Amino acid sequence: MKRSAWSSKLGFVFAAAGSAVGLANIWRFPYEVGNNGGAIFVITYLLCLLAIGFPVFVSEVLIGRTTQSSPAGAFGKLAKSRGWGFLGGITIFTGFIVSAFYSAISGWILGYLVEAVKGNVSSFSSLQEVVAHHTSLMDSAWWGVGFHTLFLIFCWYVLVSGVKGGIERGNKIIMPILYLLLILLVVNGLFLPNSMEGLRFLFSPDWHEVTPVMFLIALGQSFFTLSVGQGTMVTYGSYLKRDDNIVTSCFPVVAMDTLVSLLSAVAVFTIVFSVGMEPKGGSGLIFQTLPMVFSKIPGGYFFGFLFFFLVFLAALTSQISAMEPSIAYLIDRFGWRRSRAVALVTLGVFLLGIPSALSSSVLKDATLWGLNPQELMLFSVSSILIPLGGFFAIALVGWKWGITGALKELHRGASRKLKDSKLFNAYVWICFKYVAPVLITIVFLNALKLF
């Protein structure tokens, strides 16, 4: 069976950017900035991205392009070991679990998009009303499972259409719309009263805010934001042509992902500061703080709708990328038709995601080690499986395969200037072999609360 491929390098850039851009950018990044000192967190995050995010991202794409295989086959081929193939298989399993709880959360986003259309995120007179409305929605089992189901139907439609006709075409349409919506929100925020206070918070660093905790959170955000450690980038890399330039393919993805994070923070904090609210909204920022803000600003209905439509699109592109490694594995391993593989994976994600969808309603008191179903799945992947997956990939490239072989393959399709750049080659060498493995270990230990 002929392997699927991107129609062009631009197709990869849009698809990989769609994967990377998600709730971590539009939801998590602004509230982490708000909780950790504003501008100083942004600066630390960008430095960490160079040290860990970009190198791990490149290593995973490199593994995929070199082997033209899904993660289980790719790891096994490069290492010439079934054991490493098993480790690659773990990253596929990780992506499958991520898909399940991510779909449940994305269902909430879709539900709030419907609420925005109905005018229910921009008509509050007090924060107590916002909290009460949020609680009433989350307490409904039908609301949680219903939108979890509807969200997966959207994902199924994109995935069953194939790599070129579904994932690539979908991202080429969605990503420009996402940027347009984000720019509209930014422009709106900049013209609101006191918006400059939000910009100062984001871009005028207070060096007294530097703390070890802030550094660890920035390090984790720079690692998790690019969809590494879950088989996605190995799979997407395997759809590249063997002579595609990896560096010029990967850099725009990281730049686009970073730009969305920064623009999202500008949009959120110019609006939040305009109404005199605290930037430390925490994880409730999107569901509680912002609806109160939209209820106070001019055009709140319109901008509330734009915001939740934006987040829905970001969630959709990330979800289809998290499901794709499992689909690619079934096609590669068993020779299944794509429609069959997509149907089975979608059904599996739906069933596994039901406990997460019910974690705020009928299962909110069902806990294991003090965690409800969604919290348990989130802890399992974010604290254990994703850091391990990223570590496996960087260790495979930097130690098992070896820097010499990795650099030789990285140079394939690259410009002569890049091949001869001593600075770039030294950066890749030290990050692949030492810096990224050490920092991933720190992320892993911190996620386990060992610091």
Distance of alpha carbon 301 from alpha carbon 117, whole angstroms: 8
215: left (phi over 0), alpha (psi -120 to 50) or beta: alpha
Q: Based on DSSP, count helices (H) and strands (E) in the chain, helices before strands.
A: 23, 0
Using alpha carbons only, give the angle 345, 348, 352 rounded to the nearest 5 degrees: 140
State CA 23 to chain mean position distance.
Answer: 6
Which amino acid is it at 85? G
Location of structure tokens 């969809």: 227
**Model confidence over 33-69: pLDDT tens digits?**
888 888 899 999 999 999 999 999 999 999 999 999 9
Distance of alpha carbon 314 from alpha carbon 297, whole angstroms: 24
Location of structure tokens 């089992």: 141
Q: For the chain, give the number of residues.
A: 451
> Residue 349 in contact with residue 103, Cβ under 8 Å?
yes
**DSSP state string for 415-439:** -HHHHT-HHHHHHHHHIIIIIHHHH
Task: Inform me whether the pLDDT recorded for 384 exceeds 80.
Answer: yes
Distance of alpha carbon 451 from alpha carbon 432, whole angstroms: 24
Distance of alpha carbon 173 from alpha carbon 17, whole angstroms: 12
384: left (phi over 0), alpha (psi -120 to 50) or beta: alpha
pLDDT of residue 1: 56
> Mean pLDDT for the chain?
88
pLDDT of residue 47: 93
Highest mean pLDDT among 309-318, 359-368, 425-434: 425-434
**Model confidence over 230-267: pLDDT tens digits?**
999 999 999 998 889 999 999 999 999 999 999 988 88
Distance of alpha carbon 158 from alpha carbon 174, whole angstroms: 11
> Residue 201 in contact with residue 269, Cβ under 8 Å?
yes
pLDDT of residue 32: 84
List alpha helices for 227-299, DSSP H. Answer: 232-238, 246-274, 290-294
The percent helix, strand, coil of the chain (3-state, each to 5) is 80, 0, 20
> Residue 216 in contact with residue 451, Cβ under 8 Å?
yes
Q: Tokens representing 53?
A: 């995010």
Task: Inform me whether the pLDDT recorded for 87 exceeds 70.
Answer: yes
State CA 77 to chain mean position distance.
Answer: 27
Ordered structural domains, the chain, with CATH: 9-447 (1.20.1740)
Task: Inform me whether the pLDDT recorded for 361 exceeds 90.
Answer: no
Torsion from C-alpha of 404, 406, 407, 412, nearest 10 degrees: 130
pLDDT of residue 134: 87
Distance of alpha carbon 439 from alpha carbon 444, whole angstroms: 9
pLDDT of residue 446: 84
**Model confidence over 178-226: pLDDT tens digits?**
888 888 888 888 888 888 888 888 888 877 777 888 888 888 888 888 8
pLDDT of residue 278: 64
**Model confidence over 270-301: pLDDT tens digits?**
887 877 766 665 556 677 777 887 888 788 89
> Residue 151 in contact with residue 318, Cβ under 8 Å?
no
**Model confidence over 107-152: pLDDT tens digits?**
999 999 999 999 988 888 887 888 888 889 989 999 999 999 999 9
Distance of alpha carbon 89 from alpha carbon 160, whole angstroms: 22
What are phi and psi for residue 371, nearest 5 degrees? -115, 135
